[in-house]
Amino acid sequence: MKKQTKAVLFDLDGTLLDTANDLGEALNYVLNKYNFPTVAREHYRPVASNGAKGLLALGFGEQLDEFDYDVLRQEFLAHYQENIAVHTCLYPGISELLTELNKQDIPWGVVTNKPEGLTSLLLPYFDEFKNCQVMVGGDTLKERKPHPAPLLYASQQLSVNANECIYVGDAPRDIEAGNRAKMYTIIAKWGYILATDECNLWQACAIAESPLDILKSIL
């Protein structure tokens, strides 16, 4: 293990879990309710990391302003909560990565912009998260990513200096938050990243093509 790496923190959606299809189903439920055309998987998947706000904007487009956004958001979240793990699954290689971190006694946790309540509901569906030592949701603090506060809070909970942590995510806000927190940042290339996204411009410390590539930055 590299001297400076004492913990690993992860984004959730698009990094550890592929949640896009359940989020997309929630979007299409709301669209159906208001007689809007549904969105195909290939179109909502790249937007899944942006949560309810990004998905509703995708589905309703310019007409979103004609609706009470808070009502749409609550309808979206209610359907999502009731069907939170129907299609969601771990990305290939994540189980092996987490197992290796556990073997090496490297603490790890989740820092996500997903609401804390939904995150707490989702994680128990997967046995791999029983060793998750910290979880920070998008509403745990006043600030959320790209603000560094959630990452700094998570490192404090692990009793580890931020500059001794790795943060892994699949969106620019993840890398910005990690960099601002002075963490070693890694892009999860397998996540919700379009082929046209120039993630080499996100100023991450490294880009991982697969979850097991992360071990190269640790071991």
Cβ neighbours of residue 214 under 8 Å, at least 6 residues apart? Answer: 8, 97, 166, 168, 186, 208
Give me the residues paired with residue 185 across strands.
167
Fold classification of 7-18+89-217 (topology level): Rossmann fold (3.40.50)
What contacts 102, CB < 8 A, 6 or more positions away?
A: 131
For residue 218, the model assigns a pLDDT of: 81
pLDDT at 217: 83
pLDDT of residue 3: 47
**Residue 11 annotated among the catalytic residues of the structure:** yes
Q: Which two tokens stand for residue 6?
A: 């004492």
DSSP string, 35-99: TPPP--HHHHGGGGGGHHHHHHHHHHGGGGGGS-HHHHHHHHHHHHHHTTTSS-EEPTTHHHHHH
Confidence (pLDDT) at 216:
84
Domain boundaries, the chain: 7-18+89-217, 20-82
Q: Choosing from 11, 13, 18, 174, which is the catalytic residue?
A: 11
> Is the separation of the CB atoms in 156 and 124 below 8 Å?
no
Q: Does pTM surpass 0.85?
A: yes
Closest CA to 57 of 67, 143, 191, 77: 67
Mean pLDDT by 10 residues, the chain (219 residues): 77 97 98 98 92 96 97 97 98 97 96 97 98 98 98 98 96 97 96 89 96 86
| Pairing outcome for strands 17-18 and 89-90 | antiparallel
110 and 167 Cβ atoms separated by less than 8 Å: no
How confident is the model at residue 125, as a pLDDT? Answer: 98
Question: How high is the pLDDT of residue 219?
Answer: 63
Cα 88 to Cα 20, 142, 165, 181: the distances in Å are 7, 28, 27, 30
